[in-house]
Structure 1
C-alpha cells in the first residue's frame, strides 16, 4: 500500500528502525555507533572534558522521562529472557504464561520490549488484560518495541534503563536468556546481596537451563569462598509458573508488613 494511502511503514522499514531515545532513524540516518559506546569509548585527547558535562543533561532527561512514564503503573514485575527465543519454542509459550499469570495476580509486566521471550511475556500480559510495559535500548541490531507493548520507553543509556527495571518492579522473573539476561540477573542479585534493594525476589524459570549455573555457584564459587551459603538463598529456581508467581506475591506481601530496612528473600526450599 502506498504512503499516499496513509499506511504504516513497510515490514522492510520496520525491521530496520533504529531508536535513539525518542528519535527513530532509518537507512542512511542510522549511526555507526551507539550513545553508550561514545560515552564509554574515550581514547586520547581531551574533547571529553567539553562533551561529557553536556551528556549529563541527556542522562538526566532519560531518568526524568522514565520516572514520569512509569510512576503510575502500579505493582509490577520485570521479566527477562532471550530476544532469540522463537515463537514456536517452548520457552516462548512459557513466557506467555508468565505474563498472563502475573497480570492475574495483580501485577503489570515490564520487559526489555524486544522480541523473543520478552515479546512472549508482553503478549501474555496483553491477553490477560493487564499493563504491558517495554523498556527499549539503543543497540546496533535494534528492532524496536514488540507489538504487545502498550507503554514503551526507549533509552540511550543502559544504566538509566536498568534503574527503571528495578525501581518500578517488586521482583524479577528470569526466563532462559543470554548475556543481557545474565547481566540483569547478577546485577539484581548483587543489589539484594548488598541490601541496596530489600524484599526483592528473583525467580529463575527453567531448571534444565539454570540448574548448571546454580551447580557451578555451589561447587565453584561457594567452594572457593567467593560467595556465602546465604547468597544462594537469594534466588528461587522452578519449572512451575504458579510457583514463580507465588514467590513474588509472598515476598511482596511480606515486605508490606515489614520495616523498610528488613530483607525477606525467597524460601530456601524452592531452590533446587
Structure 2
C-alpha cells in the first residue's frame, strides 16, 4: 500500500538496481537530493559517483531499448483500479498496439500502466516498463517483460521520447499532464521529429481542450497548428489507427524532405557551372 492509500505491486524500495526495505529506505529520493538548493557545489567534491550514476542510467537505457523496434509510449494514472472502465480501455490500447507490431512503453507501475502492459502481454508483444525511484514503492508490474529502473526522472524521460514513434495518453494526474505537455513542447520547438499524439477519453480531456481553444488560443499563446498536434478519441482501435496513419504520413514527409535536400546538394552551383 502506498503512502496515499493505493495498492502497489512492489515489495521494497528500488534505488536503481538496489532493493531496500525497512529502516534502509531513505527519506529523500536521488532526484530530490540532486535538485536540493541548499546542497550547493559540495557534492561535486564529496560525491563524484553521482555523475557516473547519471551517465550509467543513460548507457543502460540506450543499451536495453536500442533494438526494440517500433514502439509507442503510453501514459496514464497509477491510481486507476482494475475494476475501473479506464483500466479495460488501457488494456485494449496495449493489446491493439502490440497486435499492430509496436512495443509498448509505460512507467511500469500499477493502474493504467499495468493495464497497458497487460494488454501487450495478452497479444504476446514487447511490454516495456521504465520504473522510477519514488518516496513510496510502486514496483514493476507483473506484465512487464523488459523493465529498467531509474533514479533520475530526466534520464527516464529521455527513454520515453527517444524510442517512441508516438504517444498515447489516457486519463491521469499531474505526472500524466507533465508527460503530455512535455511531448507537445518538444514537437512544437522542433527538439524532436514530430510524432503522433493521441488523447484517449473525450469526457476526460474535452474540458482541457475547450479551455485551450476558448482562452489560450484567442490570446495568441497557442496556434491552431499546435493544437492540431493532438488527436482526441474514445476508441482504442481509432487511437492505434491514428498512430499508424499519422506516423506513416510523417515518415513520408520526412523522406521527401531528405530527398529534396539531397537533390539540392547535387545541383551544381553557378560558379561550378
Q: Which bracket does the TM-score occupy, shorter chain normalised? A: 0.7 to 0.9
1:211 matched to which residue of 2? 206
Does residue 168 (structure 1) correspond to residue 152 (structure 2)? The answer is no
The structure-2 alpha-carbon separation of the partners of 1:121 and 1:233, relative to structure 1 and needing over 3 Å to count, comes to same
Q: Which of 155, 177, 180 is matched with 2:175 structurally?
A: 180
Does residue 34 (structure 1) correspond to residue 38 (structure 2)? The answer is no
1:197 matched to which residue of 2? 192
Shift of 1:24: 1.0
Report the number of matched residues. 251
Shift of 1:46: 4.3
Superimposed CA distance per residue, residues 66-124 of structure 1 (whole angstroms, 9 cap, x where no aligned partner): 00011111100001000000000000000100000001111001000000000000000
Superimposed CA distance per residue, residues 166-192 of structure 1 (whole angstroms, 9 cap, x where no aligned partner): 101100000000000000000000001
Shift of 1:225: 1.6
More deviation, 210-219/42-51: 42-51
Does residue 223 (structure 1) correspond to residue 218 (structure 2)? The answer is yes
More deviation, 191-200/178-187: 191-200
Q: Which of 149, 152, 155 is matched with 2:147 structurally?
A: 152
Shift of 1:51: 4.4
Shift of 1:261: 9.4
Shift of 1:254: 2.2
* TM, length-normalised to structure 1: 0.88
The structure-2 alpha-carbon separation of the partners of 1:89 and 1:223, relative to structure 1 and needing over 3 Å to count, comes to same
Structure 2 gaps, min length 5: 1-6, 258-273
Distance 2:256 2:187 in 1: 12
Q: Which of 70, 79, 86 is matched with 1:84 structurally?
A: 79
Distance 1:59 1:45 in 2: 18
Larger Rg, first or second structure (1 or 2): 2
The structure-2 alpha-carbon separation of the partners of 1:28 and 1:261, relative to structure 1 and needing over 3 Å to count, comes to farther
